[in-house]
């Protein structure tokens, strides 16, 4: 084979490799982009979602509408107040006078905002400081403002040491 033929073949191979590389790069960079999505929003809204909802309706025995209504009821109940304060994102704003105690159920969360409170209750640990990940083992320990505390043992809680003390509270509790 002559040098001329070898050069033409080499150039042809290089051009072919460059062409394939360029086309591959272009395809990879544009595939599934914003301008050419892999799955379109209209497909999700018009085809896939109705198919999923129909399957759920079939699996629940036609009770999907009832389940949705019950979920709406539960959401509405979660947004209502117990009458002891106003609701803020699932929390209630609770105002206490000096000496008032808040006795809580397990899982109740408390965040002191204004005034002062101390831990209260017969059981150790009284509270868990979720902000610092520490236990509050002793009664009458002053709680820090803007720290989130959780009651992990029933009948523990907080006691106000100043008038007009404000807490954010979420969960079961009684004020005495």
DSSP letter for each residue of 140-165: TPBPPTT--EE--STT-EEEESSTTE
Per-residue pLDDT tens for 121-138? Answer: 888 888 999 988 899 888
Per-residue pLDDT tens for 63-106? Answer: 777 777 887 787 776 655 444 544 445 888 999 999 999 999 99
The pLDDT value recorded for residue 45 is: 84
Q: Give Cα 91 distance to the centre of its chain.
A: 15
Neighbour tally for 4: CB within 10 Å: 8
Backbone φ and ψ for 62, nearest 5 degrees, come out as 80, 15
Q: What is the mean pLDDT of the chain?
A: 81
Q: What is the mean pLDDT of residues 154-159?
A: 92
Take residue 118 and report the two structure tokens written for it: 């101390």
Cβ-Cβ contacts under 8 Å for 116 (sequence gap 6 or more): 142, 143, 160, 161, 162, 165
- Kindly write down the DSSP assignment for every residue of 64-83, as one continuous string: HHHHHHHHHHHHHHHTS--S
State yes or no: pLDDT of 118 exceeds 90.
yes
Question: Considering the entire predicted model, what is its pTM?
Answer: 0.51
Domains identified in the chain and CATH numbers = 23-78 (no CATH), 86-175 (2.60.120.10)
């Amino acid at each position: 084979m002559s040098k001329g033929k070898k050069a033409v073949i080499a150039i042809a191979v290089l051009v072919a490799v460059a062409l394939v590389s360029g086309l591959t790069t272009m395809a990879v960079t544009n595939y599934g982009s914003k301008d050419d999505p892999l799955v379109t929003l209209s497909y999700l809204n018009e085809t896939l979602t109705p198919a999923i909802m129909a399957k759920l309706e079939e699996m629940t025995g036609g009770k999907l509408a009832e389940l949705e209504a019950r979920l709406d009821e539960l959401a509405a109940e979660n947004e209502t107040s117990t009458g002891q304060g106003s609701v803020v994102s699932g929390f209630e704003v609770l105002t206490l006078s000096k000496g008032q105690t808040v006795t809580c159920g397990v899982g109740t969360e408390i965040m002191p905002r204004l005034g002062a409170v101390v831990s209260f209750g017969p059981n150790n640990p009284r509270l868990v400081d979720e902000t610092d990940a520490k236990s509050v083992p002793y009664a009458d320990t002053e709680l820090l403002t803007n720290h989130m505390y959780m009651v992990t043992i029933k009948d523990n809680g907080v006691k106000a040491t100043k008038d007009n003390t404000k807490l954010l509270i979420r969960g079961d509790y009684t004020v005495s």
